[in-house]
Structure 1
C-alpha cells in the first residue's frame, strides 16, 4: 500500500503596524451604511467622547439655579407670624410614612388647623394636606426611570369673603442626564374652551465646563376668555467656584435677576440677590407713563451652631427679618420668627414649637435601615 505524504502548509502571521492605535474589541466599529450617515454618526461619537473627557456633572434645574441663596440662606417660605404648634409622627423610614398635625393662632396666612400625611418610597411620593378652612393640596411624584421623573400637584382653595378661591393643577416632567437637565411643566392645561389654554414652561440647563452651566427657559401662556397668547424667553447662567456660587437670569421682556452665595466658614453662609425689572420697554405700557425701572436687593446670612440655626436678611425696601431654630431636646424644636417693615411701619412676630413623636421601633430602624429617597 502506498502512503501519501501530506505537506505542512505555512502559517501566515499578520504584521501589526506599531504606529496604529490598538483595536478596542469591546467597542466594535458600527457597520458602514452610507457616506452621509457615517459622517453624522462619526461626528456624534466624537462629540460624545469629548463630553465624557471633560468630566461634566449634572447642573440641576433652572428652578433651583439659586437654591443656595433662595432656599438655604433666605427666609423664603419659612417666616410666619403668630403662635404655632406642630406634632409630627413617623411610623417608618423605608417606606417613609409620616403624619403631622399643626395648630396656629394669630396669623392671617396660616389656618387654625392643618393635617398632612406623607408616604414615600425610592420611586413614589404621595403627600396630602387639608386645612380647617377646607383648603386641599396633594402631590404625586413617580420615578418612571432613573433619569425620568413625573410630578403632579393639585391645589383647591374655597371661596371666602376676601378670597375668590380657585383650583390649580400642575404637571411636570423632568429628564436628568449626565451633564444636563430638561424640564417641561404645564399649569392648568385645558382644551374645553375651543383651544389650548394654560401656562406651559420648558427649560434646559447644560453644563459647558465643570464649573459653568448655561440654560434656556421659555414660557407660553394663553388665558381663557378669548384673550391672545403671550410668550417670554429667559436665559440662565450658573458658575460654581470652590466655596461660592453665582447665577443670573435674563428676561427678554425686560428683567434681570442675579444671586451670589459664599461660604465664609464651615458654619457661616452668606447670600445676596438682586432683582431688576424694566417694565414698559416693549412699548406695551406706553399709556401708563412709558418705561419704569424697579429693583430690589436682598442680603442674608446663615449661622449654624451646635444645636441651633440662625438666619437673618435685609432688603433695599426697608424690610428686616430673622429666623431662629433651636433644638431644646432631640424631639423638641422651638422656632422664633420676626419681621419689621420700615416702609409700611409694620412688625410681625412668630413662635412655634415642633415635637417629633417617634417610637422606639423607629429609633432602632435609624441604625439599621437606610431611609428611602422619594422623588421630591
Structure 2
C-alpha cells in the first residue's frame, strides 16, 4: 500500500506575496520580520519566472538520484529466504500491520520484525520492533502545503546504538530547505546538524548545497559542505487515461535526469536516469573518492522492466558483481521474489534469495472501492 508522506507543491507562474497564511500561530513580533522576507522572496520568484519560465519545486536533497535507486537493486536485493505478510485494517485513515520473517542469511541469524503504519491526510506514523527488541518509529506531520515536521527514532538494547533525528522541511514554489538534527544535546550542543537547500534556477536546472556539522564533544567541531546540481529534460506531458499499469493515469515526467554531488574533501557522486518507455527504465551512478590518499571509483549500471504481472531488475557494477531480482505477481495480493548475485572477482561469492509477499484485508469490496460481483 502506497501512502503519500507529504503533499506536493504545484507550480505557479505567479505567486502571491505570502502574508498571514505563512504565519498562522506566530506572534506579531515574528510577523513584522517575516512579512518583508516573504515579500522579497515572492518578488524574486516572479522575476525568475519572467526571465527563465515557470519553475517548480525540485524536491529535497534526499530525492537526488531517487529514480536511479528505484531502478537499481541496492534497496531491494536480499539473500536467504524471507516472507512479508501484511494486512490492511482500514482505508480512511489507512492502517496496516506487517510481519516480516528472514531465514538462512549468509552472515546474519534468522530474524522477525513486526511493523505497523497509520496514515491520514495530515499525519503519518510508522513503527516496528524485531525479535531482539530493536525498535524504530517515524512520524511525519504536515502543517500546511509548504511545511512538514519529521521525526525518526531507533531504540536498541545495545548501548550507543540508539538514535533520534528531528527534521523540519520547507517546500516553497521553487526551493526546498531542510534542517536536521541527529542526537542533539540541549546541554552541551553535541550532535550532528545538517542544513540543505535545493532550488530551481531554470525549469530544467536546479542548484543547491548541503552542510553537515558534527560535534562529538563540546570542544570538537567538524563540518563538510557538498555542492549539488540537477539537470533534467523538458517535462513530458502525462496521459490521464487509466491503464492496467497505471489505474489513475500517467503523470507528467522527465524523460531523463542527471545529478551530481561534490564534496570539498574530494568525493564526487553522479547519477543518470533515463525512461526509455512507460515500462523500461535504465540508470547509472558513479562514485569517485580522491581523498586521504585514496583513488577509487565505482560505476554501476542497471535496468528495470515492468510487465503486466511482474517486475525485473538487473544490475552490473565495475567491481564484477552481477545482480538480478524478479518479482512475479500471481495475484494483486500475492507475489513471489527471486534474487541472485554473483561476484566474478571472488570465487564462491554468490548469493541467492527467495521470498513471498502476501497481503490480506478485512475490508469489504465497498470499502476497497470495488464493484461487488452479482450473485449467480
Place the TM-score, normalised by the shorter chain, in its bin.
Answer: 0.7 to 0.9
Identify which range, 101-110 or 256-265, moves more after superposition. Answer: 101-110
CA shift in 2, pair 1:237/1:41, >3 Å: closer
What is the deviation of 1:134? 1.4
Q: Which residue among 213, 233, 248 is the counterpart of 2:260? A: 248
1:35 is aligned to: none
What is the deviation of 1:46? 4.9
Residue 330 of structure 2 corresponds to residue 328 of structure 1: yes
CA shift in 2, pair 1:267/1:41, >3 Å: closer
Residue 350 of structure 2 corresponds to residue 347 of structure 1: yes
1:87 is aligned to: 85
2:47 is aligned to: 50
1:169 is aligned to: 164
Structure 2, gaps ≥5 residues long: 1-15, 18-36, 235-254, 371-376
Alignment of structure 1 residues 276-287 onto 2, 5 Å: 276-280=288-292
Instruction: Give secondary structure in 2 for the equivalent of 1:63.
Output: helix
Instruction: Report the Cα distance in structure 2 between the residues aligned to 1:73 and 1:298, rounded to whole angstroms.
Output: 11
Assess if the C-alpha contact under 8 Å between 2:89 and 2:363 holds in 1: no
Instruction: Report the Cα distance in structure 2 between the residues aligned to 1:179 and 1:322, rounded to whole angstroms.
Output: 38
Q: Which residue among 353, 357, 361 is the counterpart of 2:360? A: 357
Instruction: Report the Cα distance in structure 2 between the residues aligned to 1:279 and 1:44, rounded to whole angstroms.
Output: 38
Instruction: Report the Cα distance in structure 2 between the residues aligned to 1:124 and 1:233, rounded to whole angstroms.
Output: 32
CA shift in 2, pair 1:339/1:110, >3 Å: farther
What is the deviation of 1:51? 2.9
Assess if the C-alpha contact under 8 Å between 1:319 and 1:340 holds in 2: yes
Assess if the C-alpha contact under 8 Å between 1:80 and 1:350 holds in 2: yes
Instruction: Give secondary structure in 2 for the equivalent of 1:336.
Output: strand
Assess if the C-alpha contact under 8 Å between 2:95 and 2:119 holds in 1: yes
CA shift in 2, pair 1:302/1:110, >3 Å: farther
Structure 1, gaps ≥5 residues long: 1-25, 28-39, 281-290, 369-376
Residue 74 of structure 2 corresponds to residue 76 of structure 1: yes
| TM-superposition CA deviations, 1:146-202 (whole Å, max 9, x none) | 21111111112333xxxx76101111111001111000111111145xx21111110
Assess if the C-alpha contact under 8 Å between 2:228 and 2:262 holds in 1: yes
Alignment of structure 1 residues 44-193 onto 2, 5 Å: 46-53=43-50, 54-70=53-69, 72-107=70-105, 108-109=107-108, 111-159=110-158, 166-192=161-187
Q: Which residue among 203, 207, 211 is the counterpart of 2:196? A: 203
What is the deviation of 1:118? 0.9
Instruction: Report the Cα distance in structure 1 between the residues aligned to 2:103 and 2:39, rounded to whole angstroms.
Output: 67
What is the deviation of 1:121? 0.8
TM-score by length of 2: 0.78
| TM-superposition CA deviations, 1:30-74 (whole Å, max 9, x none) | xxxxxxxxxx9998765343234421100001111111102x201
Q: Which has the higher contact order (CA 8 A, sep 6+)?
A: 1
CA shift in 2, pair 1:41/1:129, >3 Å: closer
Instruction: Report the Cα distance in structure 1 between the residues aligned to 2:164 and 2:38, rounded to whole angstroms.
Output: 42
Instruction: Give secondary structure in 2 for the equivalent of 1:367.
Output: coil
RMSD: 2.5
Alignment of structure 1 residues 269-280 onto 2, 5 Å: 269-280=281-292
Assess if the C-alpha contact under 8 Å between 1:111 and 1:131 holds in 2: no
Assess if the C-alpha contact under 8 Å between 2:90 and 2:363 holds in 1: no
2:312 is aligned to: 310
Instruction: Report the Cα distance in structure 2 between the residues aligned to 1:158 and 1:312, rounded to whole angstroms.
Output: 38
Assess if the C-alpha contact under 8 Å between 1:111 and 1:133 holds in 2: no
